[in-house]
């Protein structure tokens, strides 16, 4: 396994790389220096080695046994962010969503403000059609650049993908590394910045900011909100080990400082079971759960 110009770490604890601050070690963690570096790394990778992507770890639960394979972190080498004279934005998978919102605002591009409410990287937002405050990522996608397991890169039009609420389906075996986005031009940068500040203040008032969580754990079911169902089921404050359903926002699970990934996953399962029993609604996790249980061979 060759890192090229990138950085390759062995047995890297994933608790350092997830916002829940839990997770066992990854066999390898790789930070490419750029897209060409990533392509060469993937082309030289043994075909039997599993590949995972993890940006800021804000929508990721890594089990206590860790990850067998290689984890790719794109923020170091895939951070392209350019705005053309026509207002088209080219953003790499490693760009923080908050930075994308700020940059668009400075250029007077309207419609990107919601990205400030997504606590992760743009690549993750692309992969799951992340959204906040009524905005969604793929409403602005014009085209995407992908890379496959052999390191082959290609641009694909928006029409190659089926997009839904928190879901994106397209060609198998490809990962997003860049996208071109379109927004309405002519906005007032000061007004856009003020709108973002207002939205972030509203979020801080409603959500448990500053605590170890992954953001929203469950997708909202059609016509309802996961938080309302969880609260109505009497689960606010519910605890398993060091994991707790937030008292402030019921769609958040908090690591109180001593949680394991197993605690968090067990609490996710309990919430699903109780909500199904009391409301007849099956909640779907929004968080991605990967890796092995502690003690698995």
Smallest CA-to-CA distance from 52 within 289, 277, 294 is with: 289
The CATH number given to whatever domain includes residue 227 is 3.90.78.10
- Please check whether residues 20 and 57 belong to one and the same domain: yes
- Please check whether residues 16 and 121 belong to one and the same domain: no
Structure tokens at 2: 């060759």
- Please check whether residues 86 and 192 belong to one and the same domain: yes
The CATH number given to whatever domain includes residue 163 is 3.30.465.10
- Please check whether residues 92 and 195 belong to one and the same domain: yes
Whether 216 sits among the annotated catalytic residues: the reply is yes
Q: Tell me whether residue 295 is in a domain.
A: no
- Residue 175: helix, strand or coil by DSSP? strand
On whether the CB atoms of residues 229 and 214 are closer than 8 A, the answer is no
Q: Tell me whether residue 121 is in a domain.
A: yes
Domain boundary at 168, 203, 238, which? Answer: 203
Q: What is the percent of the chain with per-residue pLDDT over 70, rounded to a whole number?
A: 99
- Please check whether residues 152 and 86 belong to one and the same domain: yes
Q: Tell me whether residue 227 is in a domain.
A: yes
- Which of 12, 113, 174, 286 is catalytic? The answer is 286
The whole-number average pLDDT for the span 155-173 is 95
The whole-number average pLDDT for the span 220-228 is 95
- Please check whether residues 126 and 148 belong to one and the same domain: yes
Q: Tell me whether residue 297 is in a domain.
A: no
| Four-CA torsion 71, 76, 79, 80, nearest 10 degrees | -110
Structure tokens at 297: 């061979």
Q: Tell me whether residue 177 is in a domain.
A: yes
Whether 166 sits among the annotated catalytic residues: the reply is yes
- Please check whether residues 13 and 90 belong to one and the same domain: no
The whole-number average pLDDT for the span 132-143 is 95
Per-residue pLDDT tens over the stretch 172-192: 999 999 999 999 999 999 999
User: What is the domain count for the chain?
Assistant: 3
pLDDT of 283 higher than 70: yes
- Which of 166, 203, 219, 228 is catalytic? The answer is 166
> DSSP string covering 9-35, please?
EEEEEGGGGSTT----EEEEEEE-SSH
Q: Tell me whether residue 223 is in a domain.
A: yes
Whether 149 sits among the annotated catalytic residues: the reply is no
Q: Tell me whether residue 296 is in a domain.
A: no
- Please check whether residues 220 and 176 belong to one and the same domain: no
pLDDT of 2 higher than 80: no
The whole-number average pLDDT for the span 125-146 is 95
The CATH number given to whatever domain includes residue 29 is 3.30.43.10
- Please check whether residues 230 and 192 belong to one and the same domain: no
- Which of 216, 238, 246, 265 is catalytic? The answer is 216
Q: Tell me whether residue 2 is in a domain.
A: no
- Please check whether residues 188 and 221 belong to one and the same domain: no
Q: What is the pLDDT of residue 296?
A: 62
Residue 205: which pLDDT band, with cuts at 50, 70 and 90?
A: confident
Q: In which element (H, E) is residue 231 found?
A: helix 226-232
Mean of per-residue pLDDT scores for the chain: 94
Domain boundary at 156, 182, 203, which? Answer: 203
The whole-number average pLDDT for the span 187-214 is 90
Q: Which domain holds residue 219?
A: 208-290
On whether the CB atoms of residues 17 and 25 are closer than 8 A, the answer is no
Per-residue pLDDT tens over the stretch 31-85: 999 999 999 999 999 989 999 999 888 889 999 999 999 999 999 899 999 999 8
Domain boundary at 133, 168, 203, which? Answer: 203
Alpha carbons 2 and 249: distance in angstroms, whole number = 44
Residue 297: which pLDDT band, with cuts at 50, 70 and 90?
A: low
Q: What is the percent of the chain with per-residue pLDDT over 90, rounded to a whole number?
A: 84
Smallest CA-to-CA distance from 126 within 152, 97, 148, 101 is with: 97
Say which residues have a Cβ less than 8 Å from residue 94's Cβ, sequence separation at least 6. Answer: 55, 74, 75, 76, 77, 78, 79, 121, 122, 123
- Please check whether residues 118 and 216 belong to one and the same domain: no
On whether the CB atoms of residues 146 and 174 are closer than 8 A, the answer is yes
- Please check whether residues 33 and 56 belong to one and the same domain: yes
Residue 4: which pLDDT band, with cuts at 50, 70 and 90?
A: confident
């Amino acid at each position: 396994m060759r890192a090229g110009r990138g950085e390759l770490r062995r047995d890297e604890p994933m608790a350092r790389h997830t916002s829940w601050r839990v997770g066992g070690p990854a066999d390898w963690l790789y930070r490419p220096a750029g897209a060409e570096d990533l392509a060469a790394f993937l082309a030289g990778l043994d075909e039997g080695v599993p590949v995972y992507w993890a940006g800021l770890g804000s929508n990721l639960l890594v089990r206590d046994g860790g990850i067998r394979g290689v984890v790719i972190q794109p923020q170091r080498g895939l951070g392209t962010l350019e705005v053309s004279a026509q207002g088209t934005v080219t953003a790499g998978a490693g760009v923080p969503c908050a930075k994308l919102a700020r940059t668009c605002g400075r250029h007077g591009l309207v419609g990107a403000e919601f990205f400030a409410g997504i606590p992760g990287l743009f690549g993750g937002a692309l992969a799951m059609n992340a959204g906040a405050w009524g905005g969604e990522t793929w409403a602005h996608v014009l085209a995407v650049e992908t890379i496959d397991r052999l390191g082959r890169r290609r641009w694909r039009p928006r029409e190659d993908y089926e997009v839904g609420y928190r879901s994106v389906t397209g060609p198998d075996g490809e990962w997003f590394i860049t996208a071109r986005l379109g927004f309405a031009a002519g906005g007032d940068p000061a007004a856009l910045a003020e709108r973002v500040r207002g939205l972030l203040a509203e979020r801080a008032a409603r959500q448990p900011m500053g605590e170890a969580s992954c953001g929203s754990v469950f997708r909202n079911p059609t016509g309802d909100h996961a938080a309302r169902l969880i609260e109505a089921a009497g689960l606010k404050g519910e605890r398993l080990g060091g994991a707790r359903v937030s008292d402030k926002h019921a769609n958040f699970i908090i690591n109180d400082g001593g949680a394991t990934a197993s605690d968090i996953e067990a609490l996710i399962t309990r919430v699903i079971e109780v909500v199904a029993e009391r409301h007849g609604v099956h909640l779907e996790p929004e968080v991605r759960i990967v890796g092995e249980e502690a003690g698995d061979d």
